[in-house]
Structure 1
Amino acid sequence: MSSIRPLIPLLIAAGILLGGNGLQGTLIALRGAQEGFSAPVIGLMGTFYFAGFLLGCLAVTRILKAVGHVRTFSALAATASAGTLLLVLVIDPIMWCAVRFAGGFCFAGLFTVMEAWLNSGVTNKDRARVLAIYRMVDIGSVTSAQFLIPIFGAGGFAIFAIMSMMITLSLVPVSLGDRSNPTPPEDVKLDLPRVWRISPLGSIGCIAVGVTNSAFRTLSPVYAEQIGMSVADVVTFVSVGIFGGALIQYPLGYLSDRRDRRSVLLATTCCAMVAALALVFVAGADPFLNFVIVFIFGSFAMPLFSLSAAHANDRADKGEFVLINAALMLFYSFGAV
């Protein structure tokens, strides 16, 4: 695992950046409800986010070829930070949909840059564990950031300023500390049939994860609020599901590095499906039971993207990591939209 050392600045940047993005997803649902936006309108904002995400996946390979990984990361993070402040300056559902579309575009590029960067720096025998660490950083940061909402509240300017600061500060470790910057891709064409042929299972897995995990992140705060949870309980509900995924990421990554990834993917998917059904038909309005079941759901649903991505990147040739990861992000956005 010594291959991860040059990637530590990138992982630090990912933690800061993804915490700000995860906080924004929850805050938009809560603040939107406070401003009188209906649940369908809040859900539509999530759809706009993933529509922008889809467009970002199509554009990021050309941006990377033109300016490289560090400059692409910097430009997209700066744009996302400005959009975060615009949310609180203009309280309007149309504007919020537009900002979420732009945010989706930016974060599609940022995710592609980070994941292609990570995959280019590791070998197949370490790949799932490194991606698991990345997801643990992601989930841990997102979970911790949720608890800023009860501290600062969802109704003021401060929480939006904090989100903007987090996204902006992610530029520091990438700009100053990282020397593992891979070479830009030579091939800028996003060839989805080619990626599908390389890994049909990885492609299908990312589409399925897009359907389930995006719905959870977008509408779980609304669900929790509608069954009578307080703001603190809503944050706990979302965080418990995400935290569950953090705990089992590395064990599943370790297992899939040593066994057939397809078998691990199948078992993990089945466990997530059972937990989702239990949340619908068993949990009811009992907060504790909801917390327990969403924890189990998150434990198995959240690692599915890492396992699918590891399966696809195992089959990538040198120079194909940007293509593979941009395509996987695009497949994910197909499911999310």
Structure 2
Amino acid sequence: MNQLRPLIPLLVTAGILIGGNGLQGTFIALRALDEGFSTSLIGLVGTGYNIGFAIGCIYVTRVIRAIGHIRAFSALAAIASAAALAMALLIDPVSWFILRLISGLCFAGLFAVMESWLNAKVTNATRARTLSIYRFVDLGSVTLAQYMIPSVGIDGFALFAIISMALTLSLVPISFADKSSPALPEAIRFDVRALWNISPLATAGCIAIGLSNSAFRALGPIYGKGIGMSVTSIATFMSVGILAGVVLQYPLGHYSDRLDRRLMILVSSGGAMIACLFIGLFARDQLIYNYLGIFFFGAFAMPLYSLCSAHANDHAQEGQHALVSAGTLFFWSVGATFGPMVASVLIDHLGAESLFLYLAFIFFLFMLYTLNRMATRRAVPVEKRHGRFRSLLRTSIFFNKLATPPDEREP
């Protein structure tokens, strides 16, 4: 425990940030609906966040290198906190789009600063325990945050204030960390063409995951509201989908390390597609069916990003793994930029159930492409693969490095 003590402030900060971000995503969708925004406009607001996140992924390393970790974190937390409060004062779609874009940019930077800092502090002895705690913090804080919505209510100023308070308070634990300043991170090179050349399947997979999972996170509450769920049921619905993501992460990862990894990508995509079809065609207003369907959706869909990242790393050459990490996150954010917009238009014209039919269609197309790549390119032999499957968060370009044991890193 003494070895982990220096990391506690960073882990507490992570919990506050991840919880605040999870709360904001669900709350903004429900509040926008309550304010009379159309589903298409709500999708556009969600897109603003993902555009900002994509921009943040590209430029955050330059910011950290220019002004250091603590200054970058302080500035970004202050801006994100102000953006949350401004949303209570400027209730219109254009303002919310801009403010969510600013929020996405800030959160990309905040997660990158925190994970870069955490990576600099973690040791070989504490790495596994730190990652386990980090994943527990991620799931626990997002789940608990969902239930603040029915507890506080979506009306009025209260939840905007709570989100702003959380972002401001995230500065407190990190300010109590030891005085040593971590070394500045190395510059990250973004080369989108290079990732496509390394693995077209991983590139397409990250885009498909962005198109699908971002639509669920942004519009899942709108689906729940559209079929008559209460606010508490919506919070549970979203939480079940998120928590289920850990159920098959390691079984799928285990078999992907021993078989053609693309088989597990195919299984994961197929399971997610069937779950989406079940929700879209059969669940309707049956609460237990919705919970069951979203559980299987989360269990199969959430591991796909980690599987695609591992597949890309199988094909990467020495010196390309940092580029793969940056590229997969960037392509995910590109897909996430368009996912909520497309899904929201479908909901406006075809009803709430079309959200999951849209998701099923995305997974179906990705399955077809996966089969095409399996017929086109041979699998990488197990003994020639670079490292093993790792369960990854889509928080920053530094999480992959944090999750990689030293003996698997690039020299």
Check 1:90–1:111 CA distance in 2 against 1; reply closer, same or farther (3 A cut). Answer: same
Conservation of the 8 A alpha-carbon contact between 1:129 and 1:253: no
Worse overlay, 73-82 or 107-116:
107-116
Alignment of 1:131-146 (within 5 A): 134-146=134-146
Shift of 1:303: 3.0
* 8 Å contact from structure 1 (residues 10, 178) kept in 2: no
3-state SS, counterpart of residue 282 of structure 1: helix
Tell me the distance in 1 between the aligned counterparts of 2:119 and 2:255.
16
How big is the shift at 1:310? Answer: 5.4
In structure 2, distance between residues paired with 1:130 and 1:273:
33
Aligned to 1:44: 44
| Residues matched between the structures, number | 335
| SS of aligned partner of 1:83 | helix
Residue 254 (structure 2) aligns with? 255
Q: For the residues of structure 1 that align with 2:119 and 2:317, how far apart are their CA atoms?
A: 10
TM-fit CA distance, 1:223: 0.8
Q: Contact 2:252–2:264 at 8 Å: present in 1 too?
A: no
Give the Cα separation in 2 of the matches to 1:324 and 1:170.
30
Amino acid at match of 1:84: A
* Structure 2: unaligned runs, 5 residues or longer: 338-411
CA displacement at 1:116 relative to structure 2: 5.0
2:42 partner letter: I
TM-score by length of 2: 0.70
User: What secondary structure is seen at the aligned counterpart in 2 of 1:177?
Assistant: coil
Between 1:169-178 and 1:72-81, the stretch displaced more is: 169-178
How far 1:172 sits from its partner (Å)? 2.8
Residue in 1 that maps onto 2:372: none
Residue aligning to 1:151? 151
Which deviates more from structure 2 when the two are superposed, residues 138-147 or residues 112-121? 112-121
Q: What is the one-letter code of the residue matched to 2:76?
A: L
Shift of 1:27: 0.8
Q: In structure 1, what is the Cα distance between the partners aligned to 2:142 and 2:246?
A: 10
In 2: Cα distance, 1:133 partner to 1:101 partner: 30
User: Are 1:34 and 2:14 matched, yes or no?
Assistant: no
Partner of 1:287: 287
The answer to whether the Cα contact below 8 Å between 1:13 and 1:173 also exists between their aligned partners in 2 is yes
Which of 2-11 and 213-222 deviates more?
2-11
Q: Distance between the aligned counterparts of 2:247 and 2:298, measured in 1?
A: 9
Summarize deviations over 1:18-37 as a string: whole Å, max 9, x none: 11011111111111111111
Contact 1:269 1:301 in 2 (8 A): yes
3-state SS of the aligned residue for 2:283? coil
TM-score, normalised by the number of residues in structure 1: 0.84
Whether 1:185 aligns to 2:193 is no
Q: Deviations over 1:137-178 (max 9, x none)?
A: 323211110101111110021111111121222223333226
Q: How far does the alpha carbon of each residue in 1:211-240 deviate from its partner, in whole angstroms, 9 at most, with x for none?
A: 111000111111111111122222221122
Larger radius of gyration: 2
Aligned to 1:301: 301
Deviation of the 1:293 alpha carbon: 0.7
Match of 2:17 in 1: 17
The 2-side partners of 1:132 and 1:272 are apart by 25
Matches within 5 A, 1:1-16: 7-16=7-16
Comparing 87-96 and 184-193, the one that deviates more: 184-193
- Secondary structure, in 3 states, of the residue corresponding to 1:87? helix
TM alignment of 1:105-124, pairs within 5 A? 105-115=105-115
CA deviation map 1:246-298 (0-9, x unaligned) = 4444x348737964692544433332222122211221221111011101111
Report the Cα distance in structure 1 between the residues aligned to 2:216 and 2:137, rounded to whole angstroms: 19
Q: CA offset at residue 68 of structure 1?
A: 3.3
Q: CA deviation at 1:100?
A: 0.6
Aligned partner of 1:293: which letter?
A: G
- Tell me if structure 2 keeps the 8 A contact 1:61–1:190: no
Q: In the alignment, what sits opposite 2:332?
A: 332
CA displacement at 1:111 relative to structure 2: 3.3
- Closer/same/farther in 2, CA of residues 170 and 55 from structure 1, 3 Å limit: same
Q: Which amino acid aligns with 2:332?
A: Y
**Quick one: percent identity of the two aligned structures?**
53
Partner of 1:209: 209
Q: Which has the higher contact order (CA 8 A, sep 6+)?
A: 1
Structure 1: state its 5+ residue gaps: none
Contact 1:26/1:221, CA 8 A, preserved across alignment? yes
Once the two structures are superposed, the pairs formed by residues 311-322 of structure 1 within 5 Å of their partners are 321=322
Amino acid at match of 1:148: M
Aligned partner of residue 190 in structure 2, secondary structure: coil
Rounded to whole Å, the distance in 1 between the matches of 2:177 and 2:192 is 34
Bigger fraction of residues in helix: 1
Distance 1:178 1:212 in 2: 40
Rounded Cα–Cα distance in structure 2 between residues aligned with 1:71 and 1:256: 43
Q: Distance in 2 between matches of 1:265 and 1:181?
A: 40
